[in-house]
Structure 1
């Protein structure tokens, strides 16, 4: 189970065979595919960033579906659609979907409280997750200068101490 922050369907196609090799001895029983939010980002004048034109996005999703369907007759796929986007709010960095830094801290605190009360131990710790495809990509989010990108593959939470508390 793995997601890749900031990825688009074009970048996913580049590694699809590595993530889901056809010759693997065990194939997934369920794959959840969620692309579209980054693909539908506002195009950058230099061709950088995650934006993918609609017709290419449609073809990318077809190719992803065909590949996953070819893995096994038992493999099932769920496609999640992208939420509606208000481009003016995205430009202002307040898209109405993502929490602010302060909001994220509140949610994290409450989730950790519930997990501690349940005496639950994670089976996969976020710090130990590998960064398989951490190289820079022109599909990474565009930097404030508009002429370069920001590699967020090595992203860490704004306040890691929240995750390491007792």
Structure 2
């Protein structure tokens, strides 16, 4: 039997999630014997670009031969959509109403394709504007941050609204991280991307949401027998079933 899969779909915060201490790597380790965690992160992407590549990210071949629907898909966009339209990241900006519609389209695409799959929306994280000025990714003649925490918060609220309307789980990362006084330095390494502690929060939140929908190490069968289930007097018997 093929292992079930969990897909991680998003921007650079997802693409980096398999780095040392990343939340995606932690998920892969957590489900090491029960599910394959598949990375589909695209640095710099916004929801406008994401809906253009859905068939490339989730190609029709995934359904060939009665392939199993993924257990879950995390959808983690908004940090780039929320770039301000009058700053150097303007080419990534997506108006908030379009952002909401794009998220609706992504959720609809996934649920139509795989009705049993759990789609989890994740809001953009908060923004440390001072740190963004120290870590620009392009020339910044205005000397103003390309993102603000207020704008990120508006997109986070929009993401939550879409999740609630679609009836799918969500993680309000923008709110969750700011519950801690030192969030800017403790959880963000450059005002946007996550530190190891920030990655830990995302991992814990996703594990919690998966558990809420019945996906946990206790409910998912292990792939092939565990070592301690193999009879040392007749080891091959474990592989006959």
TM-score by length of 1: 0.51
Which residue of 2 is the match for residue 37 of structure 1? 79
Which residue of 2 is the match for residue 129 of structure 1? none
Q: Structure 1: where are the runs of 5+ without partners?
A: 108-166
Q: Give the Cα–Cα distance (whole angstroms) in 2 for the partners of residues 22 and 62 of structure 1.
A: 21
Q: Is the aligned partner of 1:5 residue 2:43?
A: yes
Which residue of 1 is the match for residue 188 of structure 2? 98
Which runs of at least 4 in structure 1 moved beyond 3 Å after TM superposition?
44-48, 86-89, 91-98
Distance 1:88 1:54, change over 3 A: farther
Rg larger for: 2
Q: Is the 8 A contact 1:22 1:70 kept in 2?
A: no
Which residue of 1 is the match for residue 105 of structure 2? 63
Q: Structure 2: where are the runs of 5+ without partners?
A: 1-37, 137-144, 146-183, 197-241
Which residue of 2 is the match for residue 19 of structure 1? 57
Q: Give the Cα–Cα distance (whole angstroms) in 2 for the partners of residues 99 and 46 of structure 1.
A: 20
Q: Is the aligned partner of 1:49 residue 2:87?
A: no
Q: Which has the higher contact order (CA 8 A, sep 6+)?
A: 1
TM-score by length of 2: 0.37
Q: Give the Cα–Cα distance (whole angstroms) in 2 for the partners of residues 71 and 28 of structure 1.
A: 10
Q: How does 1:108-147 map to 2 (within 5 A)?
A: none
Which residue of 2 is the match for residue 83 of structure 1? 125
Q: Give the Cα–Cα distance (whole angstroms) in 1 for the partners of residues 129 and 89 of structure 2.
A: 18
Matched positions, count: 103
Q: CA-atom RMSD, angstroms?
A: 3.1
Q: Is the 8 A contact 2:76 2:123 kept in 1?
A: yes
Q: Per-residue deviation at 1:98?
A: 3.5
Q: Per-residue deviation at 1:57?
A: 0.3
